[in-house]
Amino acid sequence: MKVLNVAEKNDAAKNIAFFLSEGGMTRREGFSKFNKVYQFQCFLQGQKCDMVMTSVSGHLLNWEFVGAYRNWNGCSPESLFDAPVVKFCPDNYTDIKRTLEREVRSANKLIIWTDCDREGENIGFEIITVCTAIKPNIQIYRAKFSEITSQSIKRALQTLGQPNKLVSDAVDVRSELDLRIGASFTRFQTLRLQKVFPILADYLLSYGSCQFPTLGFVVERYLERERFIPEPFWKIRVTHTIDDLTVEFRWQRDRLFDENVCQALLLKCQENPLAKVEKVDGKPKSKWRPTPLDTTEMEKIASRKLRLSAKETLKIAEKLYTQGLISYPRTETNIFPGTINLSSLVQLQTDDPNWGGFAARVLNDGPNPRQGKKSDQSHPPIHPIKYTNSLQGNEWKVYELVVRHFLACVSKDAKGHETVVSIDINTEKFTASGLMILEKNYLEVYPYESWNSKAIHLYTVGQTFEPTVLEMTSSQTSPPNLLTEADLISLMEKHGIGTDATHAEHIETIKSRMYVGLEDNIHFVPSAVGMGLVEGYNHMGFEMSKPNLRAELEADLKRICEGTRQPSQVLREQIDKYRTLFRKAKEQVNKIDAAIGKYTQSTAVVLNPEDDPLSAQMQTFDRVLPCKNCGMDMVLRRTNDLQKFFLTCVAFPQCKGSVWFPKKVLDAKVSDTSCPKCGPRVKLIDFKFSPGSMAPYYPQNFTGCINGCDTEFIEMLDISHQLQG
DNA sequence: GCAAGGTC
């Protein structure tokens, strides 16, 4: 019995093979130098098997347009909503595909070991597609695991299930839509604006369902700041200094927006400026330990405290995961499951010189996680699963963060004692507070947060004192800050834009498109082009830069996973929705022109209709019938010199299913008509022949039903061959 | 020259 095992990446394959073989695997080369083949024997379903373990590198296949639709000037951007797409293995991945094809020939079973998330399920089906093309009846299983440890991997092998087609389908819908919408709007914006604004001639003006809302967040915050009108306000300030200690009292009214009223209240205080202590409250105060670590929280802490970009943090965490040091780093979960053995995880850390003592104390008290509220039902919060002290640089910093956060969240809240003193100055009330920290607890191991004691004088109820300062201060409200990377990630997470793994990339994209820039190296500001694009669509009344559109799709994808919605139906609805938006955007494109003109301070070039890259000269292909070779669309085209017509398979040159008509065909037009057999979806081709040709021997019109029910079309093709001959 | 999602 030979079993082919395929993981999502080489590191995972190596470690899984290591655990299943107890370290006894051998290694040989695959066609791809990055994806090795590991071999060992082990028991599966009571039978000793020859195991072959290899890997892909993420997605193996990618949606692509075919033939003429790849060419920016070969079709109208709008036709991309309906253009055929194929799943294609990119050149740099064909080596991986060849390894799978070679190894599956001799295998009886196939086990999918891709990550247990939505994309992983889809990658699993890509592997299945490739393998079953070679071996249609191979037995297929899905291994389910959420961390690469000996225990989890062995359990996964003993509890093999089936791959989940619904989850994979949802990914196919998502990815096909991303391509169609992204490509059509990108070409639309780019082709139009490059022509209308010569200064943008070298710009690529992309649109994407994630990058645009990300840009939208930056623009929105910028505008909030711009529109902000500061309001002056006034406060009464009271301090009390004895020796070196100054205690600041807070006015119970906080601040007033009327200077005269504030002035009057101050005068009242000054009439009898003796403070009387009315109340001294002492109460325990806690600072809560953090909740278990999820991906975005890790990215945010690393961005703020370690000065690592989200992109870098995730890359490092991924490496630590594949080395078996930490659990899966892409998780939305911040609740530890009951099944996890926290004590043994804490135990692993007790030898460390920095936090070993703390870990030992946690063990003594018993780990007690503060639980969050989110769960993705597949991965636990990020935690260390192996001890190491041999990492360097940023890898060490990220590992340290994961360990310290883990120990912190299973320890105890910091405890303190707060004193609140309330005073009265001629009926105006003020308070001051002091804090004494009693037990640092989690803060001992968690340097990313601080909590400072605040000293206060000893006051007793009924005591009176003369304030050191009693004055009015003026200030004004301040606008919200521009967004930092951490802020932007929070917004993306909140609105479901991108995944844990891609937040950082979308931010990179809008930077590289010159839609946004950085101020002070920290705060995001939109560029003129970024502002113009967002405003242009806003003026049409479209929420292109708002997160709502994506959120609606996300909800439908969830329903596909649950089996309550058909993938094909969701796909059709979404395509229809965006096609409608696209048509309206095309009609009102002057609104984008106007906005871009305004922000870039340049004048729009007035285009002649024939120069408009989006106008009639751009062909929209009419699908005439399915190609006999490959089933893709056949469309009617004319050569560049206008000499000849031909029916071409849109997959050309991959398919080469084109049919040429003789020069004697002077004109050919496609129009809609109805089919007597199967309804309205029929194309009619009218041919006009040159005088004196053989045409009179043949009917002038040929009808072909695009559903393929009508045989006349096939006859026509045969005739065209005869004519050519 | 397009997207977003994997990963190298």
Note whether A183 and A141 are same-domain residues.
Answer: no
Q: Which of A505, A577, A506, A502 is nearest to A543 (CA)?
A: A577
Question: Which residues make beta-bridge pairs with A251?
Answer: A430
Last residue of a domain, one of A388, A409, A430: A409
Asked whether A221 and A467 are in contact (CB, 8 A), the reply is no
Task: Check residue A712 and report its DSSP letter.
Answer: H
For A59, other C-beta atoms within 10 Å of its C-beta total 18
Predicted pLDDT at A723:
41
A618 is a domain residue: no
Per the model's pLDDT, the better-predicted residue between A652 and A457 turns out to be: A457
Per the model's pLDDT, the better-predicted residue between A499 and A589 turns out to be: A589
Q: Integer distance in angstroms from CA A531 to C1' B5? A: 27
| Model-wide pTM > 0.75 | yes
Per the model's pLDDT, the better-predicted residue between A674 and A725 turns out to be: A674
Tokens of A422: 């309330």
Catalytic option among A328, A446, A459, A537: A328
Instruction: Give the residue-averaged pLDDT of A254-271.
Output: 96
Note whether A574 and A635 are same-domain residues.
Answer: no
Q: Integer distance in angstroms from CA A660 to C1' B5? A: 40
A301 is a domain residue: yes
Tokens of A568: 């094909």
Note whether A384 and A308 are same-domain residues.
Answer: yes
Note whether A345 and A247 are same-domain residues.
Answer: no
Last residue of a domain, one of A360, A391, A409: A409
Residues 17-46 of A with CB under 7 A from strand B: 34
A328 is catalytic: yes
According to DSSP, the β-strands at A109-113 and A139-142 are parallel
Taking the CA of residue A492 as centre, how many other CA atoms within 13 Å lie in the half-sphere pointing to its CB?
A: 32
Last residue of a domain, one of A360, A394, A409: A409
Report the amino acid identity of residue A578: Y
The yes-or-no verdict on residue A698 having pLDDT over 50 is: no
Note whether A281 and A418 are same-domain residues.
Answer: yes
Q: Integer distance in angstroms from CA A599 to C1' B1? A: 24
3-class SS of residue A204: coil
Q: Integer distance in angstroms from CA A171 to C1' B5? A: 9
A15 CB and strand B closer than 7 A: no
Sign of the Cα torsion A619, A625, A627, A633 reads positive
A499 CB and strand B closer than 7 A: yes
Over the stretch A140-190, which tens digit does the pLDDT of each residue have?
A: 999 998 778 888 899 999 999 999 999 999 999 999 999 999 999 999 999
Tokens of A155: 């359990």
The C-alpha angle with vertex A525 and arms to A523 and A530, in degrees rounded to 5, equals 150
Note whether A464 and A533 are same-domain residues.
Answer: no
Note whether A628 and A658 are same-domain residues.
Answer: yes
Number of domains in chain A: 5
Note whether A57 and A136 are same-domain residues.
Answer: yes
pLDDT band for position A213 (50/70/90)? very high
Note whether A278 and A333 are same-domain residues.
Answer: no
Residues 45-64 of A with CB under 7 A from strand B: 57-59, 62-64
Query: Among A7-21, A64-78, A292-306, where is mean pLDDT lowest?
Result: A64-78
A186 CB and strand B closer than 7 A: yes
A331 CB and strand B closer than 7 A: no
The yes-or-no verdict on residue A695 having pLDDT over 70 is: no
Q: Integer distance in angstroms from CA A305 to C1' B6? A: 28
Range of the domain at A550: 171-226+482-556+563-611
Predicted pLDDT at A114:
95
A332 is a domain residue: yes
Over the stretch A65-74, which tens digit does the pLDDT of each residue have?
A: 988 788 888 7
Query: Nucleotides of chain B within 7 Å of a protein C-beta?
Result: 1-8
Indicate the average pLDDT of chain A.
Answer: 87
